[in-house]
Amino acid sequence: MSDKFVTMIMLVWGGSLDVIKVNAISKIWPGLKALDKLSFLVQKGTIHGFLGPNGAGKSTTLNILVGLTNPSEGMVEINGTIGFLPENPPLYENMVVDDYLKFVAQIFKMERSAVLTKIDEIIIQCSLMPVKKRLIKNLSKGFKQRVALAQAMICNPDILILDEPTVGLDPNSVIEFRNLILSLKEKHTILFSSHQLSEVDKICDDLTIINKGKLIASGSKEKIKKMFGSKQVLNIELLNWNTTTQNDMSNLFGFERVEVVFKNSHSVLKIYLNTLDDIRTQISKYLVEKNCGLISMNEERLDLEDIFKEITKG
């Protein structure tokens, strides 16, 4: 490991609440700036979601955190040990599950007396008992992902870093993996990237959202929802709708944008307003006067998926 690399990524131990500190890191590949002075914190004992569209720099950031690549500039501080589950786990598929985990334990130079106990504990924790004597290559995607998580837990790390842990899993496996991640929170701080926004919403305490290598938002999930979910969104059902009416309303009421779904007998509009003022009465009056056939109107808050689309667009 080069001296330059050591100065950029530091392992520190102490009582800090922040177990990961990313300080203005950049990563420059030939012709591409993958990360641009990215900074965020991960607090001890939290499940921290790391979000961004494809190509945002998520995997590059995680690879820097675990030491697989160097930042071009900036510094990362890690307060504790790390277990890593990459997006494409490099499993030895011709090995039996428990033999593979023993092999990983040997890499970490664990005491022989502790190896079997630790492996049995992790096999139970990851619900691998039914497949512990099977070849990894014969397992389902869900079980392979559990084996990959088990290898990340062998060294009993303080921090688990998971890169797209539920990608490619069926809905039932996603739920099972979500519950498994939640069960690990008591003993590990967890940082994971994901495109399963509904899952992130269910299990995360904090979020960091990036786009094009730059930080968009970082903090508690509720804080980010409040910050970006405060704009008004109206759902309106109409019998009669056309683009002329849409343009007139946009000029009058200052819509940010309108999403329209045409159904057999009516249209459903999702209107994003630029104002926080309650103008539902004015909009209703306009629609009635224009004979648009107003069926219903209700207000909603942006969910995490809407917020993600809003702040990473463009």
* 239: DSSP letter: S
For 274-285, how does the pLDDT look when each residue is reduced to its tens digit (9 = 90+)? 666 778 888 899
CATH number at residue 161: 3.40.50.300
Residue 280 sits in the same domain as residue 139: no
pLDDT at 3: 36
pLDDT at 9: 44
In a domain, 13, yes or no: no
- Cα angle 138, 87, 219 (rounded to 5 degrees) comes to 140
Calpha distance 35→113 (Å, rounded): 44
> Residue 252 is part of which domain span?
229-312
Calpha distance 132→7 (Å, rounded): 41
CATH number at residue 302: 3.30.70.260
pLDDT at 229: 59
In a domain, 163, yes or no: yes
Give Cα separations from 186 to 29, 122, 182, 183 (angstroms).
38, 15, 8, 7
pLDDT at 41: 96
The model's pTM is: 0.74
Residues of the chain short of pLDDT 50, as ranges, are 1-15
First to last CA, the chain: 39
Maximum CA extent, the chain: 81
pLDDT at 8: 41
Name the packing angle between helices 141-153 and 112-125 (round to 10°): 140
- Nearest alpha-carbon partner for 232 in 158, 174, 306: 306
pLDDT at 75: 94
pLDDT at 234: 86
Residue 209 sits in the same domain as residue 259: no
